[in-house]
Chain A
Amino acid sequence: MPPRRKRKTTLVEEQTTIPKRSRKESSSRKKNAAYDPLREPFSNKRCQIWFQEYSSDEDGLGPEGMEKFCEDIGVEPENIVMLVIAWKLEAKQMGFFTLDEWLKGMTQLQVDSVIKIRAKLEFLRSLLNDPVLFKQIYRFAYDFARDKDQRSMDIETAKIMLSLLLGRQWVLFSSFHQFLEQSKYKVINKDQWCNILEFSRTINSDLSNYDEDGAWPVMLDEFVEWQRARALS
């Protein structure tokens, strides 16, 4: 719960930033000092109207809307918390939200306004600390970010996504990135993707516990070989 002081300020902000469209609602509401937009019960209608600030047509929110959305909530589009939000919304395509996805996801989060979602950002970010949830988000990221016309994710997108997801906590990430750069791989398939996470979690940074019989994808066998050769030279 944010301290009283803050609430007053947000209250003030809220009053000035409440978009004109919600005038209907605010007029029917009693304007009193105890008004806390965060405590307002979730309203499906409000959620939908909020969506319409960003959506370009009946159904969806596209890259422009997404940009505005990010601005509103104070998060850069490349920030990992955007991925968590997309995951919560079960969004299919990166850069897009459909009305259905929005409603379902936001309802689950009990969020129907910018201020409410801003309050939840820390919480959403914290989900990444749970290994089980992280794995789900990581796996989700693959289908989310790949080009739907292809079965596999192209290597450039993969490098970006891997950097986002594993860049900070996996010691070997920069080496792996280099390996991919000099390799001939043009795509990464889902199996390789999932195994990269497993690898990052179970294999030591000196590769001492890597077992060749461990049914790792050939790509990772090659990475280990490459890395070991580098260590020798």
Chain B
Amino acid sequence: MVARERRGEVVDRGAVKNACQMLMVLGIDSRAVYEEDFELPFLEQSAEFYRLESQKFLAENSASVYIKKVEARINEEAERATHYLDKSTEEPIVRVLEAELICKHMKTIVEMENSGVVHMLKNNKTDDLGCMYKLFIRVQEGLKTMCECVSGYLREQGKALVTEEEGGNKNAIQYIQDLLDLKDRFDHFLHESFNDDRLFKQTISGDFEYFLNLNNKSPEYLSLFIDDKLKKGVKGMSEQEVEVVLDKAMVLFRFLQEKDVFERYYKQHLAKRLLLNKSVSDDSEKNMISKLKTECGCQFTSKLEGMFKDMTVSNTTMEEFKNHIQTSGTSLHGVDLNVRVLTTGFWPTQSATPKCNVPTQPRNAFEAFRRFYLGKHSGRQLTLQPSLGSADLNASFYAPKKQDSGSSGPQVRKHILQVSSYQMVILMLFNTRENCSYEEIAQETDIPTRDLIRALQSLACGKPTQRVLSKEPKSKEIEPNDAFTVNDHFTSKLHRVKIQTVAAKGESEPERKETRSRVDEDRKHEIEAAIVRIMKSRKRRSHNLLVAEVTEQLKSRFLPSPVVIKKRIENLIEREYLARTPDDRKVYTYVA
């Protein structure tokens, strides 16, 4: 009769109920009679019934429909048990259903083409996923099966986002934004469909960590992204929105394995923002730094904070300098000087201060400052960094505007040009002569080649409103035989013209390699310091335990490979900081 009801017919429930009760009573104190005579065959028959039904359903329906049907059947059986079978039958029958309808077909459901998990994720079928989740949570391994499928899809998507060809320079900001969007999507699924389930949460995090670190430029890109959000002119975002984005960026930061690489780039980008006055506000900068501090501790951020302090102190110093100039009547040779003094340890260092032949006027002005500063702080050393500075130049252009007709004579157009220090040095050459060849410029300015080319490109090859110099021949590239003159036909609507330096958003390959090698050097030192620290306190440690401890200590900054650690250990043995114990060569001791 139950079978009939399942098929949709109406049966006499009361009769069945009485029959069951009678069987129960027959068993007096136990369910044995009930069980034997009714329940067992009932369960067997049910299993058979549902086995057939599930196969039929799967063949005919999509995953989401199947799931809903299963849900319906389960409710039906539970209700049946409550109503007229013995209540104790509810649990076993539900389990039978679960086994037949769900367990046996888990993978099939999940992987169903065009309707399985992947399809649901692609098409944002949040509700369907939710139903599947609620269903699968009933069975062991149910969630695991689902989760594996979700993870596979996520990894595939993530990998697609992070992969770039050799030497390709992806737009960093787009790269990170895409990843943030992906994270948002999956956070949505996690919350709406998966009920913030811990297994899913951990899996998603693990997947992000996996593919984010597949691309070793991720730390640089993340820093560039944050840099973009902290610069002036962040388009169309309120302060609050920026805050939210930065918090999301921090989530990605946590997944980075090479946090020390990020630190290096962040320092570089922050330095540029501070020195070129591009920060949107000090507060938002400090906010970001405190976020990093919470994640990584003071060691990470102390230098960044030092950079801020330098800026403040420099402002004070300049005030004092200005007073000094007035009271002592020192001449600055017509230069309105602004100096920022940077403490070497805090700021990103160049390998060596690049040379540059600074023209007389600015040089003398700087000397005046140097005398003043060293008078106050004897024992310090000041080195001018021409690669970081900027200058405002008064420029006069002596040719009439091309559009001008009927002008009375040669007009002098004056503009203020905002340029980098290197560009200033180049332009001032033209005060003494009309033409300069590339070779001459290179020789007289002594500017490093790569920077020289960049500077000349921005002065001579950019947009017409930026072309302060004319170049023969008029190509985009700078060749050694090029000749430069002042572009007297230069025009601009603005009185104050800022010359953009042709700067790649990311680093060029050689620069990246250099950064990488510096990171590796630093890591060697950090690993050695960790080894010595651990051995000093432990006195004796076996190789494997030492390697494990070192990895543990450093993992918040980067993941050292066991081979590199081993090399450092060997190096320390050679330098007699460590020794192998004579009885067991796998155990090291600290040599005081």
Contact = CB atoms under 8 A, between A and B. Distances in A.
A and B together in one complex:
yes
Interface of A: 151-152, 189-192, 194-195, 198, 213-215, 217-218, 221
Interface string B535-573: 000000011100000000000000000010011001001
A86 B248 CA distance: 71
Nearest to A212: B562
Contacts of A195: 585
Interface string B364-401: 00000000000000000000000000000000000000
Which of A214, A215, A217, A221 is the most central at the interface, judged by chain B CB atoms within 10 Å of its CB? A215
A169 B563 CA distance: 30
Contacts of B563: 218, 221
A214 B574 contact: no
30 contacts: A151-B574, A152-B574, A189-B570, A189-B573, A189-B574, A191-B570, A191-B573, A191-B574, A191-B580, A192-B570, A194-B580, A194-B585, A195-B585, A198-B585, A213-B543, A213-B544, A214-B543, A214-B586, A215-B542, A215-B543, A215-B544, A215-B580, A215-B586, A217-B566, A217-B570, A218-B563, A218-B566, A218-B567, A218-B570, A221-B563
Contacts, number: 34
Contacts of A152: 574
Contacts of B580: 191, 194, 215
A218 B543 CA distance: 13
A214 B580 CA distance: 13
Nearest to A152: B574
Interface size class of B (residues with CB under 8 A): 10 to 19
Nearest to B588: A215
Interface of B: 542-544, 563, 566-567, 570, 573-574, 580, 585-586
Contacts of B543: 213-215
Given A189-B574, A221-B566, 7 more contacts: A215-B543, A215-B566, A215-B580, A215-B585, A215-B586, A218-B563, A221-B563
Nearest to A187: B574
Contacts of A191: 570, 573-574, 580
A191 B570 CA distance: 8
A153 to B, nearest CB: 12
B551 to A, nearest CB: 14
Nearest to B542: A215
A189 B563 CA distance: 18
B575 to A, nearest CB: 9
A74 to B, nearest CB: 37
A-B pairs with the 8 shortest C-beta distances?
A: A215-B543, A215-B586, A191-B573, A189-B574, A218-B567, A217-B570, A213-B544, A218-B566
A221 B567 CA distance: 11
Nearest to A211: B586
Nearest to B586: A215
A190 B570 contact: no
A198 B582 CA distance: 12
Nearest to A222: B563
Nearest to B544: A213
Nearest to A151: B574
Nearest to B587: A215
A121 to B, nearest CB: 31
A73 B576 CA distance: 40
A131 to B, nearest CB: 14
A190 B575 CA distance: 11
B526 to A, nearest CB: 19
B591 to A, nearest CB: 13
B588 to A, nearest CB: 8
Nearest to A217: B570
A213 B573 CA distance: 18
B349 to A, nearest CB: 30
Which of A194, A195, A217 is the most central at the interface, judged by chain B CB atoms within 10 Å of its CB? A217
B548 to A, nearest CB: 11
A100 B566 CA distance: 41
Contacts of B567: 218
